[in-house]
Every structure is written in structure tokens, then in C-alpha cells.
Amino acid sequence: MSTDTTSEHLRAELKNLADTLEEVLSHSTDKSKSELDKLRSKARAALDESRLRLGETGDRLSQTTREAVSHADDYVRENPWHGVGIGAAIGLAIGMLISRR
């Protein structure tokens, strides 16, 4: 799953949760007990679903990060001088940025 798709899913989940909570808060004063219970159940279900999806997304991002680190480690081990060159270039770039201050 791409990062853009994951971000879109997170935004949709959070929007759904916010909409549900807004409904609970705005309509809680003029509702009967049974209607309030329904709204609370809906809010609880939305919150539980959001927690589950956010946990799944975090796990996927964590796995993707581990894979990227593993690939980078393999590349540096196979091409140590390329790794030294890349590190030197990054160090030079950071040094130039800091010296501009």
C-alpha cells in the first residue's frame, strides 16, 4: 500500500470519527436516553474501528521501514565505497546548510 493511500485512509478514518463525535456532542442535549445510547454506541464503534485501523497502519509503516533499512544495509554491505560517498555527500550538504546560518 502506498503512503498516499495510507494517508487518505487515515484522513477518512479521522474525519469519520470527528463527524460521529460532533454528532454526539451537538445532539446530546435534546435526545432521549435511548437515542443517546445509540449515539454513544455509534461513537464507541467509530472509536474502536479507528484505533484498529490506526494500529494496522502503524504496523504496516513499521514493516515498510524495517524493509527499507534492511535494503539500505544490504546495499552498503555490498557497496561500501558507495556508502562512504553517500555519507560524505550528506555530511557536506548538512555542513553547508549549517554554515549558512
pLDDT-derived band at 88 (thresholds 50, 70, 90) equals very high
At residue 63, the pLDDT reads: 87
Would the pLDDT of 4 be above 80?
no
Whether 55 contacts 63, CB under 8 Å: no
Question: 34-76: per-residue pLDDT in tens?
Answer: 877 787 787 788 778 877 877 777 788 888 889 998 998 888 8
Grid cell of 88 as nine digits: 560524505
For residue 31, give its domain range. 3-99
How many domains, the chain?
1
The DSSP code sequence of 28-66 is STT--HHHHHHHHHHHHHHHHHHHHHHHHHHHHHHHHHH
Instruction: Tell me what percent of the residues of the chain surpass a pLDDT of 70.
Output: 89
CA-angle at 2, arms to 60 and 14, nearest 5°:
70
